[in-house]
């Protein structure tokens, strides 16, 4: 049975600090309607995700280096903020593009790094001789699937729970 929801983008948007914008989670997805077609849905929320969400994003940095054919020493300068998805072929095979930024060493600022779209499995049985692989590394696919699980949990309302320091009402005031 085909999925009723499939993501087209999962992204963590870092806030602008003093400019009034806080961190946000952007989820763009397609929901299958009763007629069998997909409707596009987008939601942007300011609730902080559970730690696993951002952990998945940070675990994708080495794959940005690998897929963009950058020196391995760049991995510490790269932050991943999302993944974009598309679906193709007769069986709607998922492809993913990892979205990231790299800090520049000699300039103030960052450069945007987006990997090429890579499929979760080959789109066809025909391989083009001399071409690179159009398939995601297995390890990257595992992390992306975990990110999808985290995003679905976020959609269901699973967010970071802030621990509040509550005082016992029987405890005298001013006691630390």
Question: CA quadruple 146, 94, 79, 42: dihedral positive or negative?
Answer: negative
25 close to 47: Cβ distance less than 8 angstroms: yes
Where exactly are the structural domains of the chain?
Answer: 5-155
pTM above 0.85, yes or no: no
In terms of phi and psi (left: phi > 0; alpha: psi -120 to 50; beta: otherwise), the region of 124 is beta
Q: In the prediction, which pLDDT does 160 show?
A: 83
CB atoms within 10 A of CB 29: 21
Please, what are the averages of pLDDT over each run of 10 residues along the chain (176 residues)?
Answer: 82 74 91 92 94 97 96 96 91 93 93 95 63 85 98 92 62 57
Whole-angstrom distance, CA of residue 62 vs CA of residue 60? 6
3-class secondary structure, 103: strand
Q: Which residues sit opposite 93 in a β-bridge?
A: 88
């Amino acid at each position: 049975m085909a999925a009723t929801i499939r993501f087209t983008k999962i992204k963590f948007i870092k806030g602008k600090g003093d400019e009034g914008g806080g961190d946000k989670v952007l989820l763009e997805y397609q929901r299958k309607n009763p007629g069998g077609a997909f409707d596009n849905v987008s939601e942007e929320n300011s609730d902080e995700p559970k730690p696993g969400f951002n952990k998945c994003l940070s675990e994708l940095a080495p794959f940005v280096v690998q897929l963009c054919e950058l020196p391995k020493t760049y991995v510490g300068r790269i932050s991943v903020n999302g993944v974009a998805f598309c679906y193709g072929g007769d069986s709607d095979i998922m492809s993913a593009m990892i979205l990231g930024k790299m800090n520049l060493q000699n300039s103030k600022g960052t450069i945007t790094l987006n990997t090429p779209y890579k499929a979760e499995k080959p789109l066809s049985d025909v391989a083009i001789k001399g071409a690179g692989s159009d398939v995601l590394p297995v390890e990257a696919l595992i992390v992306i699937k975990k990110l999808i699980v985290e995003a679905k949990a976020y959609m269901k309302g699973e967010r970071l729970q802030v621990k509040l320091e509550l005082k016992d009402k029987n405890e005298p005031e001013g006691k630390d």
